[in-house]
């Protein structure tokens, strides 16, 4: 929800006003991590741009020069609480057994609790059998996902964003809705029961 327009806190406030459910995306996650660290440890040492924030053994360490640090300092405590409430996977079993994620789901992992959160927030393709956040370097993760669901007794439909380069992609068991609003293209929503989509034009904010 954040790092893609002129008002990060404004987007969060509007989501709260709407009582909107949410999922955590890669930009949200970086911002939450910076805010969480500073809330516990204070800002001392966070002004050394090339230093890595000490979070332990994680797959995507953050340096303090990362632009999400500045965004984290814009957030109020209420903004932070809302973002931390957003799961990486939102499962809606009563709505046609649907799942909402930011990036994607690893089609080789059947247990949702075993999905790697970083992959869920960032994946675009499957390369050599593994999720990757690179663009168009392997096969779309949705290709393998749809194949797996065709053979499932209880197929799951996934709704996702993150992949603006591919735009609107509608398949039987996956719906990609990132139509590049931040790049001046469109913002797209879907009504999950009818699968009807609505798009509105956007101003460009990304350079």
- CATH number of the domain that 149 lies in? 3.60.21.10
- Judgement on whether residues 122 and 54 belong to the same structural domain of the protein: no
Give the list of residues 6+ apart from residue 159 with CB closer than 8 angstroms, or none: 98, 99, 100, 101, 174, 175, 177, 190, 192
In a domain, 206, yes or no: no
| Token duo for residue 173 | 């068991």
- Judgement on whether residues 78 and 112 belong to the same structural domain of the protein: no
Per-residue pLDDT of 163-202, as tens digits, reads 999 999 999 999 999 999 999 999 999 999 999 999 999 9
Q: Using pLDDT thresholds of 50, 70 and 90, give the confidence band for residue 148.
A: very high
The full DSSP string for 152-190 is -SS--EEEE-S-TTT--EEETTEEE----TTBTSEEEEE
pLDDT on residue 207: 63
User: Domain range for residue 63?
Assistant: 8-85
- Judgement on whether residues 197 and 95 belong to the same structural domain of the protein: yes
Q: Using pLDDT thresholds of 50, 70 and 90, give the confidence band for residue 51.
A: very high
Other beta carbons within 10 angstroms of residue 17's beta carbon come to 8
In a domain, 167, yes or no: yes
Per-residue pLDDT of 69-98, as tens digits, reads 999 999 999 999 999 999 999 999 999 899
What value does the mean pLDDT of the chain take?
Answer: 95
- Judgement on whether residues 95 and 77 belong to the same structural domain of the protein: no
- Judgement on whether residues 65 and 94 belong to the same structural domain of the protein: no
pLDDT on residue 122: 97
SS3 at position 30: helix
In a domain, 108, yes or no: yes
- Judgement on whether residues 57 and 98 belong to the same structural domain of the protein: no
Other beta carbons within 10 angstroms of residue 169's beta carbon come to 15
Give the list of residues 6+ apart from residue 69 with CB closer than 8 angstroms, or none: 34, 46
Does the structure show a pLDDT above 80 at 143?
yes
pTM of the model: 0.94
- Judgement on whether residues 98 and 41 belong to the same structural domain of the protein: no
In a domain, 63, yes or no: yes
The tally of domains found in the chain comes to 2
In a domain, 3, yes or no: no
Percent of the chain with pLDDT over 70: 100
- Judgement on whether residues 53 and 97 belong to the same structural domain of the protein: no
- Judgement on whether residues 121 and 77 belong to the same structural domain of the protein: no
- Judgement on whether residues 71 and 109 belong to the same structural domain of the protein: no
- Judgement on whether residues 131 and 78 belong to the same structural domain of the protein: no
């Amino acid at each position: 929800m954040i790092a893609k327009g002129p008002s990060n806190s404004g987007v969060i406030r509007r989501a709260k006003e709407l009582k909107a459910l949410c999922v955590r995306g890669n930009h949200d996650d970086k911002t939450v991590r910076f805010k969480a660290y500073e809330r516990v440890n204070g800002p001392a040492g966070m002004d050394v741009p090339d230093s890595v924030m000490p979070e332990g053994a994680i797959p995507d360490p953050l340096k303090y020069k990362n632009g999400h640090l500045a965004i984290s300092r814009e957030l109020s405590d209420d903004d932070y609480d809302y973002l931390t409430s957003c799961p990486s996977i939102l499962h809606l079993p009563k709505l046609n057994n649907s799942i909402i994620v930011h990036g994607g789901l690893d089609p080789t992992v059947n247990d949702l609790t075993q999905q790697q959160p970083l992959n869920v927030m960032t994946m675009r393709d499957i390369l050599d059998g593994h999720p990757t956040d690179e663009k168009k370097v392997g096969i779309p993760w949705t290709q393998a996902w749809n194949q797996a669901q065709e053979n499932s007794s209880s197929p799951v439909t996934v709704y996702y964003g993150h992949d603006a380069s591919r735009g609107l992609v509608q398949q039987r068991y996956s719906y990609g809705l990132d139509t590049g609003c931040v790049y001046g293209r469109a913002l797209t929503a879907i009504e999950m029961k009818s699968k009807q989509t609505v798009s509105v034009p956007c101003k460009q904010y990304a350079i």
